Amino acid sequence: MSLYLRYFDKETLVATVDEAIAFLAGISEVGMNPVLESDIRDYVASDVYYPKRYKIRPRVYFIIIKTEAATMQDFKDKKAVHPSAGNRDREPAPALIKLNEEREGWYEGVLNFKRVLMIPGTGKFQYRDTRFVARLKANSGIDCYNRIVEHLQERVDERSQFPSAKGKNYSFRFLGRAK
């Protein structure tokens, strides 16, 4: 495993944590100290593979990324992506597959959206979180979502905001085949 370090236009790819600390010690703005050195060693020894950012001063950071790249060019070409990160560009997420899976039948869809309601005392409008649950016939999870949104758009204020079908504010479950 290698470590990619970057501070503004200064960057390097090193093989050991000692080389990383030596690189950072050569940058006067970083201010290498025993606490920072210990934290970097702990990060490198951990199973965490997401990038780590260290704050130097307000809005100024340096970054460390664990990688399997052997050279800087491999890192830049993203040839050494960690296997647990997966190749997200090439294969869709499992939730997206389920959303688009064609399966005709009964669905229960739950949609949490921002509904515009008038406050009776003042005559002003405000957004309220609203949960809508419906059971309906559909061909897929996305079809269920589209039918729910279409139904609501005819019945609520047009300024109401509906979440994405891919987000956490929409869920569905397949209840069974339509008879």
Mean pLDDT by 10 residues, the chain (179 residues): 87 90 88 88 86 87 87 77 52 73 91 91 91 93 93 90 89 83
In this predicted structure, what is the pLDDT of residue 86?
A: 47
Which pair of tokens denotes residue 158?
């047009």
Helix (H) or strand (E) holding 35: helix 34-45
Which pair of tokens denotes residue 154?
């005819």
In this predicted structure, what is the pLDDT of residue 135?
A: 93
Closest CA to 143 of 178, 92, 91: 178
In tens, the pLDDT along 98-118 reads 888 888 999 999 999 999 998
Closest CA to 14 of 65, 86, 48, 83: 65
Q: Distance between terminal CA atoms of the chain?
A: 56
Question: What residues are paired with 5 via a beta bridge?
Answer: 12, 64
Q: Are 156 and 83 in contact (CB under 8 A)?
A: no
